[in-house]
């Protein structure tokens, strides 16, 4: 299973990021993220933020996943759902949107202390449902493999 340490090692080995481009979140950043969360943040996500929470070269550079851009994604996701689903689909009360691409799709997990490596759910505008992607680290592994194939 991917870990924060392995993520950084692979980003560097594949030249996706240089050492100076690996930007971890600070303790103040993490407190800020926690204030925006609807519940306790899972260990896997905190590990990600500790490792690369402010950026990692060109890894996921086309996604609002890094601090501070990801702070207000829950509100943006609710607006997307209101616009496209008209009340037929709502973000769970404990849903934490950690990633958004192009304002048309987003990823979230449940911030409810049920798992250290929670399942990730994906929404694409107009599809009328959330699709379960798999655990947080599996989602990142998939994104990393794709990036490694491009390097």
pLDDT digits (tens, 9 = 90+) for 134-144: 999 999 999 99
What Cα–Cα distance (Å) separates residue 138 from each residue in 20, 44, 124, 141? 26, 11, 19, 5
Work out the pLDDT band at 21, boundaries 50, 70, 90: very high
Backbone φ/ψ region at 104: left (φ over 0), alpha (ψ -120 to 50), beta: alpha
User: Cα angle vertex 78, ends 73, 84, to 5°?
Assistant: 125
Structural domains for the chain: 21-150 (3.40.1580.10)
- The pLDDT, as a whole number, for residue 113 is 83
């Amino acid at each position: 299973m991917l870990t924060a340490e392995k993520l950084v090692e692979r980003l560097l080995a594949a030249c996706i990021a240089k050492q100076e481009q690996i930007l971890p979140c600070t303790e103040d950043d993490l407190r800020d993220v926690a204030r925006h969360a609807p519940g306790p943040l899972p260990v896997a996500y905190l590990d990600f933020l500790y490792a690369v929470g402010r950026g990692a070269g060109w890894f996921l550079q086309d996604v609002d996943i890094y601090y501070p851009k990801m702070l207000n994604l829950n509100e943006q996701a609710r607006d997307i759902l209101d616009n496209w689903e008209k009340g037929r689909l709502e973000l769970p009360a404990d849903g934490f949107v950690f990633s958004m691409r192009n304002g048309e799709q987003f990823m979230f997990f449940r911030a409810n202390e049920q798992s250290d490596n929670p399942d990730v759910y994906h929404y694409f505008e107009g599809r009328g449902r959330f699709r379960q992607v798999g655990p947080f680290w599996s989602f990142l592994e998939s994104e990393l493999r794709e990036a490694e194939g491009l390097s």
